[in-house]
Amino acid sequence: MGLFDAVLGTENQTQTALNPPEAFAVIILTATASDGYLSVEQANSITFVLSRMKLFKSYSYEMMNGLFDKILGILQGNGFNALFDAAKDSLSQDLRESAFALATDLILAEGIIAEEEKNFLNDLHQALGVSSEIAIQIVQVMLIKNRA
């Protein structure tokens, strides 16, 4: 323990541990809000989509709200980078690809993709270690899916 740790504490240096569902939700929330805005409709859509996944089958409505509250608390206390890093570190490769696919789907579902969202998806596939080939396939499929 360093001198400043003893005096100032380590609140800003806490390591955040997330379980896979929490980590997955972090990726989806950050992707959906990557344009700087999260509407009520988007939040409801996230809740609906996540609740239909195997990963969240045991989550009640109250548990889902508690999950979002926990994520927002970590975001406020530790910042975006710490939250994202904890999420990334908690996901298996399969869940990373699934998170990228769902994030892409939700971003493209709006019909208009902002430059910030394009940049976020590009950074996301790299940060999650999703290969360029898989990322391109996912984007192509989600563009087809969201045409209608």
pTM of the model: 0.84
What does the pLDDT read at residue 110? 80
What does the pLDDT read at residue 5? 42
Residue 55 Rama label (left phi>0; alpha psi -120 to 50; beta): alpha
Query: How far apart (Å, rounded) are the C-alpha atoms in residues 120 and 2?
Result: 36
What does the pLDDT read at residue 80? 84
Q: Where are the beta strands (DSSP E) in 1-148?
A: none
What does the pLDDT read at residue 73? 87
The single-letter code of the amino acid at 90 is S
Tens of pLDDT, residue by residue, the chain (148 residues): 443 344 434 444 456 789 999 999 999 998 988 888 888 888 888 999 999 999 999 999 899 989 998 998 888 888 888 899 999 999 998 999 999 999 999 999 888 888 989 999 999 999 999 999 999 999 999 999 998 7
- Exposure string over 101-120, b if 16+ CB within 10 A, otherwise e: bbbbbbbbebeebeeebeeb
What does the pLDDT read at residue 81? 86
- For the chain, report the end-to-end CA distance as a whole number of angstroms: 58
What does the pLDDT read at residue 15? 60
Torsion of the alpha carbons at 139, 85, 17 and 32, rounded to the nearest 10: -40
5-14: Cβ within 8 A, 24+ apart: 11/77, 12/78, 14/77, 14/78
Task: Count Cβ atoms within 10 A of the Cβ of residue 71 and give its class: 0-12 exposed, 13-18 middle, 19 or more buried.
Answer: buried
